[in-house]
Amino acid sequence: MEIRGVVPGDRAELLALSSRAGAGSPTESIWGHPESEAAVYFTPYLELEPESLFVAVAGGQLVGYLAGCVDTAAFPSEEERMRAAISDHRLFTKRRPLMFFARAAVDAVRPGPKAGELEDPRYPAHLHINLVPAARGTGAADALMAHWFARLAEVGAPGCFLQTLVENPRAGAFFERAGFTDHGPTPLVPGLRYRGARVHQRTMVRDPR
Ligand SMILES: CC(C)(COP(=O)(O)OP(=O)(O)OC[C@H]1O[C@@H](n2cnc3c(N)ncnc32)[C@H](O)[C@@H]1OP(=O)(O)O)[C@@H](O)C(=O)NCCC(=O)NCCS
């Protein structure tokens, strides 16, 4: 298992990896359209901050990645990326995304705290991590996280946040082991369902070391 930064020749394999690395998790597919999901949750990291993107390689193949952002405030927001993806991919003309956004609109009027990106200057950085099933439980996730923490230290060790789901206990346990702790409420994620049930955003933070 090798962990390394990305090189230009990785692009096609990385894009394919990004749509299958979440397999089996509650965020395997968010609105049922992998290209536009990658346009929100993966491609901007590859294009705007490749120096914070690390890959795990096994048997000559990419098997996992950690996509980081050291300064969330300077990065296009999740909402901006989502708006661009809806328009670029004409998601309102596609059945599954349309059902997702209709459900999201209904969920969004429910009372209670709202899901959204963390805006807290103590935690400017954030990350996403996904491994194909065969690479889970091998130490690859720890090794990716070690590279990310080294990158944070290199840029001044700012605090870091991530957002997972209450309904993803394996990811939560991994992040706790990596030194992240819970932060704030666990609001409903509008539109998203896992095994037919509503899911809840879990924000976790790690203080500068
Ligand atoms: C979340 C994720 C990155 C965590 O990685 P992981 O490898 O599964 O998690 P861990 O490092 O905690 O490993 C889990 C198991 O591997 C074991 N393990 C860890 N390092 C190991 C190593 N070097 N050698 C062998 N086993 C190891 C752990 O002991 C643990 O075993 P246990 O569950 O029996 O106690 C990964 O599960 C994943 O990509 N999941 C799907 C996508 C996802 O949910 N992403 C997060 C979205 S927010």
Residue among 1, 115, 27, 121 at smallest CA distance from 72: 121
Angle between helices 11-20 and 34-41 (to 10 degrees): 110
* pLDDT at residue 208, rounded to an integer: 79
Sign of CA dihedral 180, 182, 184, 186: positive
* Spatial separation of the C-alpha atoms in residues 53 and 5, rounded to whole Å: 6
* pLDDT at residue 142, rounded to an integer: 98
Structure tokens at 186: 């666990």
**Centre of ligand 1 from the C-alpha of residue 168, in Å:** 12
pLDDT single digits (tens) 168-191 = 999 999 999 999 999 999 999 999
The confidence band for 23, taking pLDDT boundaries of 50, 70 and 90, is: very high
Which atom of ligand 1 is found nearest the CA of 168? 44
* pLDDT at residue 120, rounded to an integer: 95
Complete domains list, the chain, with CATH: 2-206 (3.40.630.30)
With a Cβ cut-off of 6 Å, ligand 1 is lined by: 22, 25, 27, 129-131, 136-139, 141-142, 164, 168, 170-171, 174, 177
Q: Answer for the pair 19, 36: CB distance below 8 angstroms, yes or no.
A: no
**Centre of ligand 1 from the C-alpha of residue 135, in Å:** 8
3 state SS of 155: coil
The predicted model gives 144-153 an average pLDDT of 97
pLDDT single digits (tens) 82-106 = 999 999 999 999 999 999 999 999 9
Residue percentage of the chain with pLDDT more than 90: 94
Global pTM value? 0.94
pLDDT of residue 4 exceeding 90, the answer is yes
* pLDDT at residue 117, rounded to an integer: 95
